[in-house]
Amino acid sequence: MYAIVESGGKQYRVEEGTKITVEKLTVDAGAEVALEKVLLVGENTDLKVGSPYVDGAKVTCEVVEHLRGPKVVVFHKWRRNDSHKKTGHRQDLTTLKIKSITA
């Protein structure tokens, strides 16, 4: 069984036992989180599609760790002015392990 869930404005395809990396959640490591925004749940021919979410469906996850993503360099150059600006950004992320999918 698999599901498509929404977290942080992005959609993820999850199955039991897999790990996903989502935008930072304000939960301690080792705690359980229930993702309620389930867009689709089921197997090959037995699918439940929500509009926008499936009623009564949820995905239970365990928070494995909090980490930071790779550095993204933001470089702005203004032509004919001999000037530029260089900044960087690292996104805070959370790794989740999928424990169960209920529909």
Q: How many CA atoms lie within 13 A of 57 on its CB side?
A: 23
Domain that holds residue 65: 2-102
**Amino acid at site 100:** S
> Domain tally for the chain?
1
> What pTM, to 2 d.p., does this model score?
0.84
**pLDDT digits over 81-100, tens only?**
999 999 999 999 999 999 99
**pLDDT digits over 52-70, tens only?**
999 999 999 999 999 999 9
